């Protein structure tokens, strides 16, 4: 690596407890491989951090030698910012500790933990916090972008339940951020992504959830999509915060409760979640079965952690993925018609359009309460394009972009930062809206040289162009 001698690298390696990998080393290719197979980058160095001291040493080394620095938590981010070419990659996946204080209802979570790691520990005490919908997602990246999931209508966003964070700043120092310490930094961490440091521990508020919840799917034929989605939209207006229902349009996977002839057909799926009394939940969701003539349904009591893993088979690593996303404060008929038209012409069997319902408690905070500003977003719609062969890239990416453009007139103009792909740097302003300039000021203070730029980057005012 240009400018770095063998002696420099050996000295750096001697300061680490975790392994340092270079091309050709055992484990190098595994460490640089992430969820989205479209990302194929080759860091000059990978440090598999074993603790905070490794993070501090690595940040200092990257700063001193002007290396591009990438940080991997769960490696699930669509843009692939966890990996860089030619720089230093911090692999935090070994730092996956989750410690639960059931009396205080607090969780202390390492940056390499996944949702599955979190749920495994918290559910031992019947506790949870709002996280995502795929158990292989990393807690760190999801949290730093805002975070929402099945519990968000009831308990707010992930960042609304973040009480403190410990991080290593650009100058290599360990910093504790909370409402009472470095409050400006704590505000920015709650939605501002990895722009301000490397978080080494998160402290979350927990809530009683489970272990049994009511959850499941109702599957309708695509031909009934207009009546189903219109009634779904109207039904949302009167839903209690405890109930969460997402709409997904895709080809039917081979679910055991669907007749074999339905597998592979275009369908509309209502995914339901209710953490309260099962009988009360069944009463609340009963009207949804009448939105059309279902092809099948599977609804019942199940462990919360099992529902958190229900969609994992559709999101396994190794496929090529490209996303486009809009926020919607409402779904008018034209928006619904556009969704239906493009969902009827999916470019591959693995593609889907989902409308993640938020609202409820997540909408009640002020837009400037956290760096995440989009409290008016009732739906976060993700155009999830997924396929296997590079030869299909143009077709699949083109479909996603065409749909994105067609849906834009009906969207709110904002976007969830965690859904931005690597070619969407021009939408970072839309991800932060009125909070962007305040984020720039925090960046100026804590990372004026933009060391942490391998992300959806908030550039300091006096960025030198790096």
Contact assessment for residue 415 and residue 431, using Cβ atoms and an 8 Å cutoff: yes
What is the tens place of the pLDDT at every residue in 329-373? 999 999 999 999 999 999 999 999 999 999 999 999 999 999 999
What is the tens place of the pLDDT at every residue in 167-221? 999 999 999 999 999 999 999 999 999 999 999 999 999 999 989 999 999 999 9
Structure tokens at 395: 């077709």
**CATH entry, 6-91, from 3.30.43.10, 3.30.70.20, 3.30.2350.10, 3.40.50.920:** 3.30.43.10
3-class state of residue 377 by DSSP: coil
Which pLDDT band holds residue 425 (cuts at 50, 70, 90)? confident
Topology of 98-209+437-446 in CATH?
A: 3.30.465
Contact assessment for residue 92 and residue 73, using Cβ atoms and an 8 Å cutoff: yes
The pTM of the whole model exceeds 0.85: yes
CA–chain centroid gap for 315, Å, is: 13
Structure tokens at 350: 């693995």
Q: Note the pLDDT of residue 49.
A: 98
- DSSP H helix total and E strand total for the chain: 14, 18
Q: Note the pLDDT of residue 331.
A: 95
Structure tokens at 6: 């063998």
Nearest to 242 by CA among 274, 206, 279: 274
Distances (CA, A) of 371 to 81, 144, 146, 288: 20, 9, 8, 35
Q: Note the pLDDT of residue 412.
A: 95
Domain with CATH 3.40.462.20 in the chain: 212-419
- Average pLDDT along the chain: 96
- Ranges of beta strands (E only) in 253-294 are 266-274
Which pLDDT band holds residue 2 (cuts at 50, 70, 90)? low
Residue 319 pLDDT exceeds 90? yes
Domain with CATH 3.30.465.10 in the chain: 98-209+437-446
Q: Note the pLDDT of residue 1.
A: 59
121-141: average pLDDT: 96
Q: Note the pLDDT of residue 177.
A: 98
What is the tens place of the pLDDT at every residue in 37-68? 999 999 999 999 999 999 999 999 999 999 99
Q: Note the pLDDT of residue 463.
A: 53
What is the tens place of the pLDDT at every residue in 68-112? 999 999 999 999 999 999 999 999 999 999 999 999 999 999 999
Domain with CATH 3.30.43.10 in the chain: 6-91
Strand order in the sheet with 88-91: 20-21, 45-48, 88-91, 69-72
Which pLDDT band holds residue 464 (cuts at 50, 70, 90)? very low
Q: Note the pLDDT of residue 465.
A: 46
Query: Span 212-419: which CATH code?
Result: 3.40.462.20
Q: Note the pLDDT of residue 246.
A: 97
């Amino acid at each position: 690596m240009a400018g770095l001698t063998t002696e420099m690298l050996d000295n750096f390696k001697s300061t680490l407890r975790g392994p340092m990998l270079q091309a050709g080393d055992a484990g190098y290719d595994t460490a640089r491989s992430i969820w989205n197979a479209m990302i194929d980058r080759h860091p000059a160095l990978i440090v598999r951090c074993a603790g905070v001291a490794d993070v501090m040493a690595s940040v200092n080394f990257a700063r001193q030698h002007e290396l591009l620095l990438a940080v991997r938590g769960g490696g699930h981010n669509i843009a692939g910012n966890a990996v860089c070419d030619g720089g230093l990659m911090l692999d935090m996946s070994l730092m996956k500790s989750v410690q639960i204080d059931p009396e205080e209802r607090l969780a202390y979570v390492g940056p390499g933990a996944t949702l599955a790691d979190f749920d495994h520990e918290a559910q031992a005490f019947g506790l949870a916090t709002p996280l995502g919908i795929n158990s292989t997602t990393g807690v760190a990246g999801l949290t730093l972008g805002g975070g929402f999931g099945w519990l968000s209508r009831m308990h707010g966003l992930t960042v609304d339940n973040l009480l403190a964070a410990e991080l290593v700043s650009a100058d290599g120092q360990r910093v504790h951020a909370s409402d009472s310490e470095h409050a400006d930094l704590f505000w920015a961490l709650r939605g501002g992504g990895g722009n301000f440091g490397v978080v080494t521990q998160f402290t979350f508020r927990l809530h009683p959830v489970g272990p049994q919840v009511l959850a499941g799917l109702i599957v309708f034929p695509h031909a009934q999509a207009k009546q189903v989605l219109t009634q779904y939209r109207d039904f949302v207006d009167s839903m209690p915060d405890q109930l969460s229902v997402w709409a997904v349009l895709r080809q039917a996977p081979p679910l055991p409760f669907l007749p074999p002839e339905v597998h592979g057909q275009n369908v509309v799926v209502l995914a339901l979640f209710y953490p309260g009394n099962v009988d009360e939940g069944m009463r609340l969701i009963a009207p949804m079965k009448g939105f059309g003539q279902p092809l099948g349904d599977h609804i019942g009591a199940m462990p919360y952690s099992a529902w958190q893993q229900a969609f994992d088979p559709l999101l396994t690593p190794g496929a090529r993925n490209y996303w486009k996303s809009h926020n919607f404060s409402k779904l008018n008929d034209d928006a619904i018609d556009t969704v239906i038209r493009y969902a009827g012409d999916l470019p591959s069997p693995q593609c889907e359009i989902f409308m993640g319902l938020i609202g409820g408690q997540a909408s009640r905070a002020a837009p400037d309460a956290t760096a995440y500003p989009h409290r008016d977003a009732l739906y976060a719609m993700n155009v999830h394009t997924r396929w296997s062969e590079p030869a299909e890239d143009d077709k699949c990416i083109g479909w996603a972009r065409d749909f994105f453009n067609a849906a834009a007139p009906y969207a709110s103009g904002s976007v969830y930062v965690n859904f931005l792909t690597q070619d969407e740097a021009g939408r970072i302003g839309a991800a932060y809206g009125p909070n962007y300039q305040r984020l720039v000021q925090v960046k100026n203070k804590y990372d004026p040289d933009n060391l942490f730029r391998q992300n959806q980057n908030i550039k300091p005012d006096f960025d030198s162009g790096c």
